[in-house]
Amino acid sequence: MRRPEIFLSYSWANKKIADKIYYDLTFVGFNVIKDDQTLKYTDRLPDFMNKIRKADFALLLVCESYLKSINCMTEVMQLDKNDNAWKKILPVVCNNTKFYEVIDRIQYVKYWQEKSDAIESALKNIDPINATVLYQELKSYKVITQNIDSFLTNLKEQLNISPEELFENFYSPLTTRIGIDPDFTKMVQLIPISFISDANERLATINGFIEKHKAENSYCYSIIASCYRDLKQPQKAIQFYKKSIELDDFNYTAWNNLGRVYELAVQNFSEAKKAYEKAIISKPDLDIPRLNLGVLLSTHFKDIVGAKAQYEEILRFDENNPKAHNNLANIYKSTEYFDLDKAENHLIIAVNQNNLEATIGYANFLKVYKKDMDMGNFYYQKAKELDTENMYSEIIDLMIKSNKG
């Protein structure tokens, strides 16, 4: 079955988003035309831009810089030459792109009119015979000036989607609109590879997969990075996590895992902090990088305020998150925020969800701060039951015998 061609039109301000779209869609079988993947040295840019008319669909990554780019808007004007243009346009509108109000659309018309007027003024004393190409460029600016209002009006009158919504739904609004399902064959093969416990076997298997499928995918490089992480080769792990991120700057798992390698394997805490922060930007409602950042801030930067803010943010989207409650309890036992009532409240919420660390912490809290040895030991016994892997069994036994905590 023939796969339709999708022309990806974007401004370089959103290259990272465009890169993710390109690699994601090509990995699941779509034929995507993108400038830096198609153009070769000495190829003519106008010829490439004309391809948008021949493509089955045009995915427009719309933002302010896109609407002010001569190349992007020239591509749009190429589409307008097609009577069925809006049947093939797939707009993806970046957040904070303003064109829904009249005053916003006026600003774009004004922008292009001023550009056209400036060029026309500069050409005023030049004979057209001596500047035929320049006059053709002026014509292109005028075409955009005359048509941008209708383009933006058509854009505002339809239901659009943001890049974040597109990624969250793994392109289903787009693929449904196209009428072609993604081919998840390769993606499905990657999942069991990622779960191979032996790092050497996992590395050999993923390299074989890449060679067989000629795969260029962020997830592939993330799996390779995990192999080197487990083989205690942190520099190679860092190299491949970065390669993974180059292909998908929004790969929050790769960013978080990169942070873990920086923090735990090479003790580069500043780079770990940057990586966790990038993971949070990519996936604000994920608790793991926020928990990691919070611990890093309190442990290595002595930034209790910053750590507290991360845990509280987790509770805004996951109000019963046991790890966030447990970590907040520890903060409220610290000198800076000493408040035993708040500490106990957070501990109880975490303990009620059978969180092992919180149960141990609450047992200690009861014996140290409440001087309730019997109830403290009751919770130590409960912790032993929760500790199915016997990670803390020896420590718990010692704490039960202790009269101090």
Reading the block at residue 385, the tokens are 């039951």
346 lies in a domain? no
239 lies in a domain? yes
123 with 17, same domain? yes
pLDDT above 90 (res 216): no
332 lies in a domain? no
CA–CA gap between residue 233 and residue 240 (Å, rounded): 11
70 lies in a domain? yes
122 with 56, same domain? yes
27 with 161, same domain? yes
pLDDT above 70 (res 7): yes
24 with 165, same domain? yes
Q: What is the DSSP string of 266-322?
A: S--HHHHHHHHHHHHHH-TT-HHHHHHHHHHHHHHS--HHHHHHHHHHHHHH-TT-H
Look at residues 232, 253, 282 and tell me which one is the last residue of a structural domain.
282
- What's 52's domain CATH number? 3.40.50.10140
384 lies in a domain? no
Reading the block at residue 168, the tokens are 């969250």
Q: How confident is the model at residue 1 (pLDDT cuts 50, 70, 90)?
A: low
- Domain of 142 in residue numbering reads as 5-178
192 with 169, same domain? no
| pLDDT given for residue 83 in this prediction | 67
Residues 128-147, mean pLDDT to the nearest whole number? 93
Q: Which helix (H) or strand (E) covers residue 132, if one does?
A: helix 132-156
- What's 204's domain CATH number? 1.25.40.10
What are the φ and ψ backbone dihedral angles of 7, each rounded to 5 degrees? -85, 125
CB of 224 closer than 8 Å to CB of 200: no
379 lies in a domain? no
Return the percentage of the chain with pLDDT > 70, whole number.
99
Residues 225-235, mean pLDDT to the nearest whole number? 98
Give tens-digit pLDDT for 81-115.
Answer: 766 789 999 999 999 999 999 999 999 999 999 99
161 with 190, same domain? no
Give tens-digit pLDDT for 275-311.
Answer: 999 999 999 999 999 999 999 999 999 999 999 999 9
Alpha helices (runs of H) in 157-268, residue ranges in sequence order: 163-168, 172-178, 185-194, 199-213, 218-230, 234-247, 252-260
| pLDDT given for residue 392 in this prediction | 94
Scan for tokens 């993947």, then name that residue: 37
pTM of the model: 0.85
Residues 116-121, mean pLDDT to the nearest whole number? 95
Residues 192-206, mean pLDDT to the nearest whole number? 97
Q: What is the DSSP string of 63-74?
A: -HHHHT-HHHHH
| Strand pairing category for 5-9 and 89-93 | unpaired
For residues 115 and 38, the model is more confident at 115
Q: How confident is the model at residue 79 (pLDDT cuts 50, 70, 90)?
A: confident
Give tens-digit pLDDT for 364-392.
Answer: 999 999 999 999 999 999 999 999 999 99
Look at residues 251, 282, 313 and tell me which one is the last residue of a structural domain.
282
233 lies in a domain? yes
153 with 19, same domain? yes
Indicate the number of domains in the chain. 2
198 with 277, same domain? yes
74 lies in a domain? yes
pLDDT above 80 (res 404): no
212 with 131, same domain? no
169 with 61, same domain? yes
Look at residues 151, 178, 205 and tell me which one is the last residue of a structural domain.
178
Residues 225-233, mean pLDDT to the nearest whole number? 98
106 with 162, same domain? yes
Give tens-digit pLDDT for 140-175.
Answer: 999 999 999 999 999 999 999 999 999 999 999 999
CA–CA gap between residue 28 and residue 146 (Å, rounded): 39
Mean pLDDT of the residues in the chain: 94
pLDDT above 80 (res 238): yes
Q: How confident is the model at residue 80 (pLDDT cuts 50, 70, 90)?
A: confident
CA–CA gap between residue 125 and residue 122 (Å, rounded): 7
160 with 200, same domain? no
Nearest residue to 330 via CA among 354, 294, 300, 301: 294
